[in-house]
Amino acid sequence: MKLAVVGTGYVGLVTGTCFAESGNQVVCIDIDTEKVKLMKEGKVPIYEPGLDTLFERNIAQERLSFTTNLEEGIREAKVIFLALPTPPGADGSADLQYVLDVSKKLGPMLKEYTVIVNKSTVPVGTADKVRNAVAENCKVEFDVVSNPEFLKEG
């Protein structure tokens, strides 16, 4: 199955690499051109025990790839994972700017039914906000689900 992971921080890169290891075609998307360049060169930008081995194997087997181009990265993806930062705002609440910005961009790019999975740490009600942002300019059916991470880095 073709999957896309938007955001290659700790959550996104581990998620994408593990799904590739399970036999899926995974494209990881990030706006950081230097980070994407490093990953294309086979360098893992984070530390997680054993990740480097999985990362290298799946790049070599062409199941794991990287791009800065959102539209290219999600092309033909059946599932899109959002693993974007949600830094605390001035009042301490999660800043959903990155999640909602990407969601708005996804709407016109979707060409067939797609599942959008939010892995970012977000408050209750965010799935509805993501759904509304995608739906603004979307002509196909899609679903939004939540699969938050519970992790300890390293």
For the ranges 27-31, 118-122, 130-134, the lowest mean pLDDT is seen at: 118-122
* Contact (CB, 8 A) for 94 and 114: no
What is the pLDDT, as a whole number, of residue 87? Answer: 87
Average pLDDT over all residues of the chain: 94
Q: Please state the rounded mean pLDDT for residues 2-21.
A: 97
Q: Please state the rounded mean pLDDT for residues 22-30.
A: 99
pLDDT in tens, 41-65: 999 999 999 999 999 999 999 999 9
Domains of the chain: 2-146 (3.40.50.720)
Give the integer Cα–Cα distance in Å for 76 and 93.
34
What is the pLDDT, as a whole number, of residue 90? Answer: 87
What is the pLDDT, as a whole number, of residue 44? Answer: 96
Residue 152 predicted with pLDDT over 70: no
What is the pLDDT, as a whole number, of residue 72? Answer: 98
The 3-class secondary structure across 101-128, one letter per residue, is HHHHHHHHHCCCCEEEEECCCCCCCHHH
Main-chain phi, psi angles of 97, to 5 degrees: -50, -50
User: What SS3 class is residue 138?
Assistant: coil
